[in-house]
Structure 1
Amino acid sequence: MPESGTAEYVFKVELQLSPDDPSVWLEPASVETTLFKQAAVPGEDDWLFFRDNLWRGEVNSPDHMRQLAEETLDVEVRAIEFRELRTDESYYEALKAAIGDNLELFKADDVSEVITKYLGSRVHVRER
């Protein structure tokens, strides 16, 4: 398997900010920001994050992803949207190799089908 580089999942999130003190408020009370989640090394724990949470380049269960983000950020998440898997060439090659070695996990005939099925066209290979 090729040496793994780096990659991150990129999401747009809308956060609802609610101060505990009723004498304090915010304008606006919600903000949009970008959330980055480091992608696991292909073949290691949590490397199937894309399979379990994305479909055709979109979040497959927005309520589930909002809940995960809320637990991680400890703030109410009103909306979450997948933007891209941002990766370097070595990570992408390692990911494709791991997918190829495990096609049965994806019920697919080839690596390209898996990439399209889960990530759509939202893979962006960049130089580091």
Structure 2
Amino acid sequence: MADRDHGTGPTDETRAAYVFGVTLQFDPPAATVSPDRIETIVRIPAPDPGREGWLLFRDRLWHGEVSDPERFRRPLRERLGLEDAPGIEIVDASFRELRTDASYLRDLRDAVESDPTPFADDDPDAVLHAYLGSSIHVRE
């Protein structure tokens, strides 16, 4: 699966993004599609640490993998605008990386350190490793 991101940062608009490989299956009721399965890259902007939604890594990932793939597909369908597209199914979604710049990663570590309550550890590096594994990619 090719990642066609030619930019230098996480995304054009954000300091960080969660990157997923997603496989879509097409089964439209009134047509045939070829190929009927495609793989693509999905980038979900990472909210600034401490802001609403910033704990996506804690809620959806474990050791660099999607922790509950079935449960993850519903919000992913919504984010992709597929909730009213019954002929398109997400058949696979795998976490690739947190693509970030150095300042976002520093802010993320600081947020974990300042309030470790939501986590099972108070060491920011241990927390990030527990959820993201080794899938943190710092880009400038």
Contact 2:113 2:122 in 1 (8 A): no
- Alignment of 1:29 with 2:36, yes or no, is yes
- Alignment of 1:98 with 2:111, yes or no, is yes
Percent identity between the aligned chains? 43
Q: Deviations over 1:62-104 (max 9, x none)?
A: 1011222122220410000000000001111111100101112
- Following TM superposition, the consecutive aligned residue runs of length 4 or more in structure 1 with deviations greater than 2 angstroms are none
CA–CA distance in structure 2, aligned partners of residues 72 and 117 of structure 1: 25
Output the aligned Cα RMSD: 1.2
Equivalent residues in 2 for 1:1-128 (5 A)?
Answer: 6-21=15-30, 24-73=31-80, 74=82, 75-127=88-140
Q: TM-score, normalised by structure 2?
A: 0.82
Q: TM-score, normalised by structure 1?
A: 0.90
1 or 2, which has the higher helix percentage?
1
Secondary structure, counterpart of 1:99 in structure 2:
helix
Secondary structure, counterpart of 1:44 in structure 2:
coil
Unpaired segments ≥5 residues, structure 2: 1-13, 83-87
What number of residue pairs does the alignment pair up?
A: 121
Unpaired segments ≥5 residues, structure 1: none
Amino acid at match of 2:94: E
